[in-house]
């Protein structure tokens, strides 16, 4: 989709798809499945792609924040990066795959699922708490919530938080065996959230990182602010490891609870970036939960799924989609749901089909609904002070 924040955001605004036929995935036959991959050269031979992606996104976030040794006490600067599949090269060789050659980074230096967290924290000399969660496709959002809590608890002034994902053959094989992966002769049309012809999701790669700060700390150092986290909340759905409660009771309670914490009535919400996987089960369940939580206000709220373009980034889904939500607030532009040509009658919200829309949003909600029953939500408010944030673009003439 792009090599940095703004190029990816422009592609998402256009409804551009990054999905293609997967090739050169170690241990998986070429052309067997689809995915939205990232072309990225690692810093060293043998470096895990997920680590390289995390480092790239973290470097961009740190540079954009203009934070430096003079601007923060690094003993109070935390690091929260989601877990991931570790380096399985040693296991692959035992399974008969040819060994990788000339690796400067041996597999046992990247075996642990917190490897990206370790390398990111070490790269930037972050000496505060180091946090790492493995909560399936809620992981990226939960790291942001963990960073927020570390600041609220007084343990940190700032936290570098987010997640990364690279398509791993074990994950790919597992999802393929579950029959949840989408297929279409035209890869760009494969993932179809909220569409009656949806048949699953496609896997994706990418990363997003945030520099989170306590508000007075950010203002004191003259930071440029994108958005304010009003509230976050996590709940569990004690139903099944992969199947969802079709009555959406836990999701209903999650949305009501996070809006109450944010002191925001349903009518004050402008945009929801949905989990929106494009599977038969997830989409109507998520719409039902939104409707049950918001009541009549659901009819006027924009809802979209960017997995239709980015693919499902699993551990990185929450952070990447939260980043897109922040940019939607910044620019007053709601991204579309690509490939939504025949809406499922059960998905009867305004799901922004095909083409994005200029909407000067003030408040947005990001949802994550993960395997294992992990539910997470974050409510954001646009930062409207032009001297410390971003002025809205000049509105186009009708």
Question: What one-character-per-residue DSSP string does 16-35 give?
Answer: ----EE--S-TTS-TTSSEE
**For position 371, what pLDDT does the model report?**
75
Q: Tokens 């008969």, residue? A: 96
CA distance 50 to 52: 5
Residue 75 backbone class (left: φ over 0; alpha: ψ -120 to 50; beta: rest): alpha
Instruction: List, run by run, the mean pLDDT of 10-residue segments along the chain (398 residues).
Output: 95 96 85 91 88 97 89 91 86 74 76 92 95 93 97 96 93 87 93 95 96 94 94 83 71 96 97 94 93 96 96 95 97 97 96 96 95 90 92 61
Contacts of residue 80, Cβ cutoff 8 Å, sequence gap at least 6: 117, 130, 131, 132, 133, 143, 144, 146, 147, 150, 159, 160, 161, 162
The dihedral over CA atoms of 365, 389, 120, 207, expressed in degrees to the nearest 10, equals 50
Here the tokens at position 179 are 């029959």
CA distances from 226 to 102, 180, 229 (A): 42, 35, 10
Count the neighbouring beta carbons within 10 Å of the beta carbon of residue 125: 9
Q: Which residues are catalytic?
A: 137, 275, 312
The half-sphere exposure of 157 on its side-chain side, counting CA atoms within 13 A, is: 16
**For position 367, what pLDDT does the model report?**
97
Domains and CATH numbers, the chain: 5-382 (3.40.47.10)
**For position 397, what pLDDT does the model report?**
45
CA distance 102 to 116: 21
Residue 18 backbone class (left: φ over 0; alpha: ψ -120 to 50; beta: rest): alpha
CA distance 335 to 306: 7
What is the pTM for the complete model shown? 0.94
Nearest to 364 by CA among 293, 296, 269: 269
**For position 41, what pLDDT does the model report?**
85
**For position 398, what pLDDT does the model report?**
43
């Amino acid at each position: 989709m792009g090599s940095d924040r703004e190029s990816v955001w422009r592609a998402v605004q256009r409804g551009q798809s990054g999905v293609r036929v997967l090739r050169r995935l170690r241990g998986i036959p070429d052309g067997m499945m689809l995915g939205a991959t990232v072309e990225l050269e690692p810093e060293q031979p043998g470096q895990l792609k997920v680590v390289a992606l995390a480092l790239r996104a973290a470097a961009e976030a740190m540079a954009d924040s203009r934070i430096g040794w003079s601007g923060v006490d690094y003993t109070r600067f935390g690091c929260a990066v989601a877990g991931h599949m570790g380096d399985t090269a040693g296991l692959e060789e035992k399974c008969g795959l040819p060994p990788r050659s000339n690796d400067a980074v041996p597999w046992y230096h990247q075996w642990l699922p917190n490897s990206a967290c370790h390398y990111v924290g070490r790269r930037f000399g972050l000496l505060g708490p180091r946090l790492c969660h493995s909560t399936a496709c809620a992981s990226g959002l939960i790291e942001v919530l963990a960073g927020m809590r570390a600041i609220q608890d007084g343990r940190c002034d700032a936290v570098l938080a987010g997640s990364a994902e690279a398509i791993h053959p074990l994950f790919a094989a597992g999802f393929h065996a579950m029959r949840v992966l989408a297929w279409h002769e035209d890869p760009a049309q494969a993932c179809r959230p909220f569409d009656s012809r949806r048949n699953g999701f496609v896997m994706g790669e990418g990363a997003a990182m945030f520099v989170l700060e306590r508000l007075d700390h950010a203002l004191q150092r003259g930071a440029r602010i994108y958005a304010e986290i009003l509230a976050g909340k996590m709940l569990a759905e004690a139903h099944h490891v992969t199947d969802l409660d079709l009555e959406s009771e836990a999701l209903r309670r999650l949305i009501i609870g996070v809006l109450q914490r944010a002191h925001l009535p349903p009518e004050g919400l402008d945009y929801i970036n949905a989990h929106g996987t494009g599977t038969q089960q997830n989409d109507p369940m998520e719409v039902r939960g939104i409707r049950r939580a918001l009541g009549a206000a659901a009819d006027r709220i924009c809802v979209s799924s960017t997995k239709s373009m980015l693919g499902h980034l699993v551990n990185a889904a929450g952070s990447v989609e939260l980043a897109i939500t922040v940019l939607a607030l910044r620019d007053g532009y709601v991204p579309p749901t690509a490939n939504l040509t025949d809406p499922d009658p059960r998905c009867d919200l305004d799901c922004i089909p095909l083409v994005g829309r200029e909407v000067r949003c003030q408040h947005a909600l990001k949802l994550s609904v993960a395997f294992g029953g992990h539910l997470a939500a974050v409510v954001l408010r646009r930062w409207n002070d032009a001297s410390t944030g971003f002025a809205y673009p000049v509105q186009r003439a009708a």
